[in-house]
Amino acid sequence: MEIIQTILATIVTLGILVTIHEWGHFWVARRCGVDVLRFSVGFGKSLWLHKGKDGTEYSISAIPLGGYVKMLDEREGTVPEHLKSRAFNNKPVIQRIAIVAAGPLVNLIFAVFAYWMMFVVGVSAVVPVIGSVETGSIAAKAGMPVGAEIVEVDGYPVRSWDEVNLRFASHIGESKQLFVSVISSATASPKVYTMALDNWNVDIEKESPLSAMGIRPYRPEVKPVLGQIVANGAADQAGLQVGDVIQKINDTRIDNWMALVDIIQQSPDQLLEVTIERNATVMVLRVTPERKVLEDGAVQGVIGAGVKAPEWPEHMLRNIQYGPIEAVGAAFNKTVHMVGLTLDSIWKMIEGVISVKNLSGPITIAKVAGASAASGFEPFVSFLAYLSISLGVLNLLPIPVLDGGHLLYYSIELITGRPVSEKIQVIGFKLGMFLLLSLMTLAIVNDFMRL
């Protein structure tokens, strides 16, 4: 069932983003008087084909990893004399630039719309209160106080851990003094702490920028209460039920969930006496954790049980919401920030500051699409916006084969008054294709390594 949900979420996600991207090219091409022969969502064999009254074939194709708009063009076939004025290659260069740029720009506009919709509906967020600070970390050296709320990072207001994390992420690889403002119960006004960054490097695969700073968010106490039981697992066979409160294992008192996890993981194939409270009745059950072998060869015990999610104090949750007009500015600013962060990450990857292991391919996209769809409206729309920004920015990069490569050629033509020679375009196409295929291969390899 989970696999089906992931596949459906991926198809919907890519279908939406590809459709709006190609619609951008299509809409501007039609406004510029170019005949569009086919509008296809996906590649390969057509699963559904319809020819509209406008003469365009509309297709949904078998491979949902992209799409295309095929326009009348003398470079791709013979064009009758009476239709040459409607061919793409015969349009003024400024119109060709507009047609090519429309796809990525519509992706960015869609991101603004998605964020606008989120802000109007309201975004649920956890107040960024510091739960603990790791000894010897950047945050510890700065003297960051436990229990304080982070309200500003380097001059930018923040209201959630997501915003804090993104602001920290924009400084990866830098050497500077980062100013973080916090409010605590001991101070009526914000106090500024200085974090000293020295070629600050973060392994994104293993930790977040927040944890790399040495900051652990506040979390409510996780009590040893069962919230999930896996069918036919050790816990189920022992008679444990959802709602059971674990009091003791053997003679060890259990005060929190992690204490329970530690004992179980250290006890594969060992019979444990578990004292529980169920409906005000105390009883003792016997469970034997099953043996699980980890990737590194280590062995740990598991019983097939999950924790009951703790309840957050009301003052630790906030709803970030704007009116329809105010949300426009907030959505635009959010999109601009994410575009800047994407470009910055690409540049730092070229510099070697950020590892190329962070490149993601279709498998990771599918996993995140499925997870975000399962999490609800807000995470899914947020992922759509982020992926739309990535698609728009990457397509605007000046790499032949991509929209940005065509824009580079047409910009040169606009400046010099003559088109780039076909020989140079062919060389650029080969180099661009090699680079694109190399990046795609690397991204797919990274995906499998993550699996």
Q: Are 226 and 246 in contact (CB under 8 A)?
A: yes
Q: Are 153 and 178 in contact (CB under 8 A)?
A: yes
Three-class secondary structure of residue 200 per DSSP: coil
Question: What angle is formed at CA 344 by the lines to CA 435 and CA 389, rounded to 5 degrees?
Answer: 75
Q: Which of 262, 269, 273 is CA-nearest to residue 238? A: 273
Please state, in angstroms and rounded to a whole number, the distance separating the CA atoms of residues 170 and 260.
38
Name the token pair of 345: 């990450």
Three-class secondary structure of residue 271 per DSSP: coil
Task: Provide the CA 291 distance to its chain's centre, in angstroms.
Answer: 34
Q: Which of 126, 121, 161 is CA-nearest to residue 314? A: 126
Name the token pair of 98: 């507009």
Three-class secondary structure of residue 128 per DSSP: coil
Active site residue 74: no
Name the token pair of 414: 């606009």
Residue 196 region by backbone torsions, left for phi larger than 0, else alpha for psi between -120 and 50, else beta: beta
Q: Which of 22, 163, 207, 314 is catalytic?
A: 22
Q: Are 242 and 229 in contact (CB under 8 A)?
A: yes
Residues labelled catalytic? 22
